[in-house]
Structure 1
Amino acid sequence: MLHPPQTVSIGFVHGILSGVHARGQPLEPFLVEAGIAPGLLGQSDARVTTQQYARLFRVLTERLDDDFIGLLSRPLRRGSFALIARSALGAPTLQVALRRAARTFRLLQDDVVLELVCRAELAGVVVRFTEPSATPTVFLQEVLLRTAWRLMAWIVGGQLPVVRFDFAFGPPAHAGGYGKIFPAPQQFDCELSAFWFDAARLKDVVRRDEAALHVFLADAQAHMIVPRRTDEGIGARVRSHLQHAQPAWPDLVATAAALHVTVSTLQRRLALEGTSFQALKDELRRDTAIQRLSTSTVPLAELADELGFANSSAFQRAFKCWTGSAPGSYRRSGGL
């Protein structure tokens, strides 16, 4: 299956680097090794590919020898995450797996406790910091929630729908990208960061073994931090159709016909998912352009044609609107 390219906001890149930045270490070597242009850090609307994003996390864990990339008061040596995951494998249910993983995590560091809380029909994994006066970074809370959720979802077979994400901070500048990282209703300025799910799922059977863990760990960063694009919903069908139709880039009418729905039905169903045909089309063209600029030396005129623009000037105007910078500058920053 051909998957559309994805990108993430530069705000998440700043987050990944926050531990290194707080220690006064230079950021450029890590970015260069991950294939990310250091100049993009200064562009608030810039984006990087999900491959670059996951690669940066991997580079940081390897160079720092720290599975939590400098975010905690002392390093979690490489292999710590594998130990946490392995501690949950032999559990009979999700509830026991959660408690075992949380206990192992607590043994490895002093800063944070993951607590399982039950309220009526909901179960929650709550992030509680041991030093009340400490102000943990936004990214540390983001990565703790995302990692705990995705690990437990994987443990029980891949799916653990979240009812709500709570964040103990206000909406960050990159909150517009939260929908893909945290695909459920979100509440900010909460007392504690947490994710909540149906308490009945605590009885789910653990379905993974040591062999499955070995495969999972081979690309753990992508599993944990890269947004998972759902294959469900009308938006996913539109993205898939546009991806397969390239470089034709069909319009709304042609796409509705290809999906065997009326134009009004397609528009209404996309609106229910919080998007529109033009937004999906522009998102795909933006992400394709960033990926091509990051990985090739394709001429801008040729890329404009691939993306369905009338000419290079029209493409460059659109790209600047999407990312805040011209494609030529973006490419030069990347050293291509």
Structure 2
Amino acid sequence: MNEVSVSARKFHRLFDYLKRLELDVDAIAARARLSRQRILKLDEAETIPGQHYSRLYKEAVVEMQTLKQPLPWAAGVGSEAFELMCHCMIGARTLGDALVLAVRYEKMVYPMIGHRVCLDVEGDTAILGYHIRFTERGAALVPDNWDRADYQDTVAKASGLLIWHALCGWLVGESLAIEQANISAPFLNSAYHESLSANFHSKVLFDAPDTNFSFSAEQLERRIVHTVDSLREFLENAIYQLILIERKPASTSAAIKSLITIDLAVGLPSFSDIAAQLHMSESSLRRRLQGESTSYQQLKDEVRCQVAIDKLLNEDSKVADLSDYLGFTEPSSFVRSFKNWTGETPRTYREKIQALAQDLS
């Protein structure tokens, strides 16, 4: 992953918030493998790796859940409810299907978590709405002496909508192109407005009738490019992953490799199939891959090599079965390709790795 950084100010604000909730901030930081005292000595403008903030936020959410109150910030990211919802969504084929599942899930648990999404399609436009039932000022997770207590509605709604925009982008492997983001809460300040506009990559309107963002309904047909395995990695560093998808262009190569892996059991998708699933023309996709110094053939070979090695070592698969599974016309073609990938035949490779494992045991 390309590293992104977070200002020390965000750490300082989170520490202060947790302290006002009367939680053990030092213990939370220690579980995230961080020193609160060292971070507090940093100038607010200094930057810290985003993965550190992600770990801290996740541990903070775990601790906040012990207060038995709905988590109003950032759509509940890091909570058990958020993780279960993601597991519900990951089995869907398209973004639209995943969002329908999310709507059903959050409608069911809304009495417990206090927020939910909805999806409406009006002609060629899709609208993702975010609703939150907010607690009174001074409640468990909104301390009365917190500097953002007066703007709790704005922060809760904007952060929740931002997480949904980023999550949609992660699911399809590319930041979702939206027309406008609307926040049904007051304007906070210019810096916050500019930050939201940069993350949404669109204009942001405050004091709107509803909290939502609109986008082309065509994007609902985009394929989900992740699997249960990549979801586990995502949930381990959810905040970092969501920051990453907003700040850095997603790798088309990674999205294609995920799509190939997902469809491998039913056959290798053609280049035109991949272009259609990514909602790109074939010429645009070729240019994108050239920009990433790769090709569709190279990506197919990388996936097939990874899958072949995994099945050889962990499932004791036979060469003939692997050849058929990976789309080769005959076993000899698979053996030649495997030797080009690894420098050895499947049998020699497996025997060498097994012998290494025996020597280490």
Q: Please, what TM-score do these two structures have when normalized by structure 2? A: 0.50
- Change in 2 beyond 3 A, CA 1:26/1:209: closer
Instruction: Tell me the equivalent position of 1:170.
Output: 187
SS of residue paired to 2:120: strand
Asked if 1:219 corresponds to 2:218, the answer is no
Using the TM superposition, give the Cα deviation of residue 25 of structure 1 relative to its aligned residue in structure 2, in angstroms.
3.9
SS of residue paired to 1:57: helix
- Kindly report the root-mean-square deviation, in angstroms, between the aligned alpha carbons of the 2 structures: 4.1
How many angstroms apart in 2 are the aligned matches of 1:109 and 1:187? 26
Using the TM superposition, give the Cα deviation of residue 194 of structure 1 relative to its aligned residue in structure 2, in angstroms.
1.6
Instruction: Tell me the equivalent position of 2:220.
Output: 202
Using the TM superposition, give the Cα deviation of residue 188 of structure 1 relative to its aligned residue in structure 2, in angstroms.
1.9
Q: State whether residues 61 and 79 of structure 2, in contact with CA within 8 Å, keep that contact through their aligned partners in structure 1.
A: yes
Q: 2:207 aligns with which of 189, 201, 221?
A: 189
- Change in 2 beyond 3 A, CA 1:89/1:45: closer
**What are the within-5 Å matches in structure 2 for residues 152-171 of structure 1?**
152-167=168-183, 168-171=185-188
Residue 129 of structure 1 aligns with an amino acid whose one-letter code is I
**What are the within-5 Å matches in structure 2 for residues 111-130 of structure 1?**
111-130=114-133
Q: Please, what TM-score do these two structures have when normalized by structure 1? A: 0.53
Asked if 1:105 corresponds to 2:122, the answer is no
In structure 2, runs of 5+ residues without a counterpart are 138-150, 251-361
Q: State whether residues 29 and 36 of structure 2, in contact with CA within 8 Å, keep that contact through their aligned partners in structure 1.
A: yes
- Structure number with greater Rg is 2
- Change in 2 beyond 3 A, CA 1:157/1:230: closer
**What are the within-5 Å matches in structure 2 for residues 140-159 of structure 1?**
140-159=156-175
In structure 1, runs of 5+ residues without a counterpart are 233-336
How high is the sequence identity, in percent, across the aligned residues? 18
Residue 224 of structure 2 aligns with an amino acid whose one-letter code is V
**What are the within-5 Å matches in structure 2 for residues 262-301 of structure 1?**
none
Using the TM superposition, give the Cα deviation of residue 38 of structure 1 relative to its aligned residue in structure 2, in angstroms.
8.7
How many angstroms apart in 2 are the aligned matches of 1:150 and 1:220? 10
Using the TM superposition, give the Cα deviation of residue 193 of structure 1 relative to its aligned residue in structure 2, in angstroms.
2.1
Instruction: Tell me the equivalent position of 1:90.
Output: 91
Residues 154-201 of structure 1 show CA distances to partners (whole Å, capped at 9, x for unaligned) of 222334222222223313464143344333222222222222221111
Asked if 1:60 corresponds to 2:60, the answer is yes
- Change in 2 beyond 3 A, CA 1:69/1:224: farther
SS of residue paired to 2:247: coil
- Change in 2 beyond 3 A, CA 1:123/1:9: farther
Q: State whether residues 36 and 48 of structure 1, in contact with CA within 8 Å, keep that contact through their aligned partners in structure 2.
A: no
How many angstroms apart in 2 are the aligned matches of 1:76 and 1:146? 11
Higher relative contact order (CA 8 A, sep 6+): 1
How many aligned residue pairs are there?
Answer: 228
How many angstroms apart in 1 are the aligned matches of 2:77 and 2:50? 24
Residue 165 of structure 1 aligns with an amino acid whose one-letter code is A
Using the TM superposition, give the Cα deviation of residue 85 of structure 1 relative to its aligned residue in structure 2, in angstroms.
0.9
